[in-house]
Structure 1
Amino acid sequence: MAPNDSAETGGGTRGTAAGRRKAARYIVPVAVAGVAAATIGLVPALASTGDPDLPKITAQELIERIAASDTERLSGTVRISTDLGIPSLGGLADAFVQGGGAGRGGASADPQERMTELASGTHTLRVAADGPGKQRLSILDNASEYSLIRNGDEVWAYDSGSDQAYHATADGSARGSGEKSAHPAPDGAPATPKELAEQLLETAGPTTSVTVDGTARVAGRDAYKLVVKPKQGGSTIGSATVAVDAENGVPLKFTLLASAGGKPVVDAGFTKVDFAKPDASLFTFTPPKGTEVTEADDAKAQREQGGGPDGKGLDKGLDGLFPGADQLGAGDGGAEDTKIIGEGWNAIAEISTPGGTGLPAEASDEMPAEAQQFLDSLGDKVTGKFGSGTVFKTRLVNALLTDDGKVYVGAVTKDALVEAANNAS
């Protein structure tokens, strides 16, 4: 087994992630959650058959190996599991969507909506990649399959259960010039260990400790275990472990633990992986006869209208729950109505909601009864110099919404949020 080697995430380590933005480092908990979060444990299928005996390597060298990995071809099966400690939504989504069909607004193949399924529960995925222009990800269900396919400038998504498809065209010349495409490929939740590991390492700063903690066998491959932990106390994040392929530097497994203990908050890893060139047929798609196809522009317009035929859809429901919710993910923390308190793993974003309004006092058109019950199951009433408010809790990210419309959010404890609100008063 490789001995424990540590590295500060100082100048040398940060140099392996050229171009990372300073603001992103300050909101690392939000980035990890967007795994959370936004933000994913593996079952015994990934159990080790004996830790391999590998040459010693330092944390610095292992991070550099990940950054230098040029592996662009692979295929395999991934198991991904997420436990944020959020109660079951039950019929909550339907309360937000008036006739939209489980929050999908009639466009169940839209990746912007379907990829959020990875934010809870356990899923089996099939993934394949042949360079930056050809990728495929399929979410397997008991009786259906949802696939997201990219082949050059063409992006297709298909839901076999509903026989619906989504189509987008990316402007290759715009992508190549660095300009934003009129029809960019849809962004989805991080779904592979590599994507999750890259998000974590991109945002690691001087408040982070990185060590090599032995070796493992993942999907039949020898791997080193890279452990990332906050140096500060008070974070809800305990550690993140990345199993890195010893041969090619590809992350094979990602595990995120909460500081309070318990099973992993996010755990994603290959159960099977092959680095040979995938079959070209995996990246071609023609809608079956009778498939309902939604174009990207139409799906976007439908979401902007609220998801339902009468305009009272998911967007309005979310805004009823959290006034100004559409502002929470915008930008990188530099918006005029957003201020970052602290840094690193203890960073807290202070956000001013439009109009300075808090939650509705009681169930109403903006706050359906189902939504009120859901919020009550998550929230704790708190008071302080700032006045009063409600803290909404998950195992990873907590948020304080004051009655005067301020939001304090971060991967920190409830007490830390209350202290931040008091200090800001």
Structure 2
Amino acid sequence: MDRGPWKKWTPAVAVSATIAALAAGGSIAAGARTDLPDRTPQDVLEMVASHEVEGFSGRLAASVELGLPQLPVEAVRDAEAQDTGAVDARLAELLALVPGTHEARVFADGHDRSRLQILDGAEEKNLIRNDDELWYYDSVEDRAVHATVPRDGAGHGGAMDPWRRDGALPTPERVAERVLDRAEVHSTVTVEEGTADSGRDAYTLRLDPRTDQTLVDSVLVDVDAQTGMPLGVEVRAVGQDEPAVSIVFTEFTPGAPDAGLFDFEPPAGATVEEQALPDCEPRSGAAGAREDGNRGPVSGDRARGEVVGDGWEAVVVMPAGSGPGEPAGSVLLDDLAVEVEGGRVLGTPLLNVLLTDDGRVLAGPVPQHRLLEVAAAGTGEE
């Protein structure tokens, strides 16, 4: 499926999800206090875990402010078109699209009926799922892409389901469910009452890491007081006044939308492409839950790497040669990364990435010295 519609949303979700996975991303702040029933942090966490909202309509705002330079779109296209490797192409895409705030409308009715309308001035992109049918339409290019979700094997509702991949439909709920996983183990959790950006009464959970060996200062999660559904997630970096990552509902209405919103027919004259989604067996050996409840490798799947440590201090380590493209040859990295002993570091207020001279990649919401310590211990080496 064409990744175009996700490009402006992937950074906000991916950065938040990375931090959340290691710790287990409008501005969120408690508005005027409302007369809500008193609830403890555990009460609100249970509201989130047990909420039954499957249908809703809303408007989303996602923003990422990591202090990275913004590249013109032409630079992205050049990196993708030239033989500069996957690393350059992905970096160019990230740098061109991360800064700023992006808006979208979102409609959902269960897991199999969803519509995302990405708004960019006069341009609009739509990504629609109606049961097994997937459509992507770009109004400016007048181009549509169609695919069918495989029903057999793991393809239906499994690893190859595009709506469940890379953070799934990019909503505060998807980010919050990762952020709040084992939240009380690694964070001090408090709760306030107020009004969310959507105007609905909400409880705001605040997570403060119990360690100073992290770049994360705090995470705020707005939880709808009526339904228990997360309405916004905001991640603040140490020493930063503004949120580094946020994804929030600015409008939210629970209840199934009109079924006609999920029907789609390409406009007359539009270019239509058919794409096939292959069946895919679930990955084995993926980094995930261990018997001790911590996150880390459960077997030797090199493509997924491993997680060293736990909570806010955890670091993802990718062995040399485990991903597409070789970081050592990246022109963009040459311009952006800082030389350190044994490699180079690409640093942001919320996430540091170390590319070692021997080809390993280490990343986490941790100070630079933490990455260097893990690398020096030989993690990920042959």
Question: Does the pair score TM above 0.5?
Answer: yes
Distance across 2 between alignment mates of 1:153 and 1:141? 27
The verdict on how the C-alpha distance between 1:95 and 1:186 changes in structure 2, with shifts beyond 3 A counting, is farther
- SS of 1:202's equivalent in the other structure is coil
Distance across 1 between alignment mates of 2:216 and 2:29? 24
**Deviation of residue 48 (structure 1)?**
6.8
Aligned pairs for 1:290-305 within 5 A: 290-297=269-276
**Deviation of residue 378 (structure 1)?**
2.9
Could you tell me whether the CA contact under 8 Å between 1:134 and 1:152 is conserved in 2? yes
Aligned pairs for 1:263-274 within 5 A: 263-274=242-253
Q: Please, which runs of 5 or more residues in structure 2 have no aligned partner?
A: 1-11, 87-92, 279-285, 289-295
Tell me how large the CA RMSD over aligned residues is. 3.5
Letter in 2 for 1:242: V
The verdict on how the C-alpha distance between 1:32 and 1:224 changes in structure 2, with shifts beyond 3 A counting, is farther
Q: Deviations over 1:29-50 (max 9, x none)?
A: x9972546799644xxx88762
Distance across 2 between alignment mates of 1:121 and 1:395? 16
Residue 372 of structure 2 is aligned to residue 389 of structure 1: no
Partner of 1:235: 214
- SS of 1:375's equivalent in the other structure is helix
Partner of 1:51: 33
Distance across 1 between alignment mates of 2:190 and 2:130? 38
Distance across 2 between alignment mates of 1:354 and 1:176? 27
Distance across 1 between alignment mates of 2:366 and 2:155? 39
Letter in 2 for 1:166: V
Distance across 2 between alignment mates of 1:61 and 1:96? 49
Distance across 2 between alignment mates of 1:176 and 1:97? 28
Structure with the greater alpha carbon radius of gyration = 1
Residue 103 (structure 2) aligned to one of 92, 111, 124: 124
Distance across 1 between alignment mates of 2:188 and 2:301? 32
**Deviation of residue 224 (structure 1)?**
0.4
Partner of 1:187: 165
The verdict on how the C-alpha distance between 1:359 and 1:251 changes in structure 2, with shifts beyond 3 A counting, is closer
Aligned pairs for 1:255-266 within 5 A: 255-266=234-245
Residue 422 (structure 1) aligned to one of 348, 354, 376: 376
Distance across 1 between alignment mates of 2:54 and 2:96? 26
Q: Deviations over 1:194-247 (max 9, x none)?
A: 111112123646223322133334322110001122211111111111111111
Partner of 2:137: 158
Residue 320 of structure 2 is aligned to residue 353 of structure 1: yes
Q: Given the two structures, how large is their TM-score scaled by the length of structure 1? A: 0.69
Q: Deviations over 1:353-402 (max 9, x none)?
A: 12999754xxxxx54xxxx3x4245312112xxxx211111222211112
Residue 341 (structure 1) aligned to one of 308, 311, 328: 308
Distance across 2 between alignment mates of 1:208 and 1:55? 24
Q: Please, which runs of 5 or more residues in structure 1 have no aligned partner?
A: 1-29, 104-113, 301-329, 361-365
Residue 250 (structure 1) aligned to one of 229, 245, 256: 229
Q: Given the two structures, how large is their TM-score scaled by the length of structure 2? A: 0.77
- SS of 1:227's equivalent in the other structure is strand
- SS of 2:180's equivalent in the other structure is helix
**Deviation of residue 64 (structure 1)?**
0.7
Could you tell me whether the CA contact under 8 Å between 1:174 and 1:180 is conserved in 2? no
- SS of 1:419's equivalent in the other structure is helix
Aligned pairs for 1:219-230 within 5 A: 219-230=198-209
Partner of 1:78: 60
Letter in 2 for 1:86: L
The verdict on how the C-alpha distance between 1:48 and 1:344 changes in structure 2, with shifts beyond 3 A counting, is closer
Partner of 2:6: none
The verdict on how the C-alpha distance between 1:260 and 1:160 changes in structure 2, with shifts beyond 3 A counting, is same
**Deviation of residue 65 (structure 1)?**
0.6
Residue 406 (structure 1) aligned to one of 331, 336, 360: 360
- SS of 2:103's equivalent in the other structure is strand
Distance across 2 between alignment mates of 1:397 and 1:238? 12
**Deviation of residue 95 (structure 1)?**
2.9
Aligned pairs for 1:22-101 within 5 A: 33-35=15-17, 41-42=26-27, 50-90=32-72, 91-98=74-81
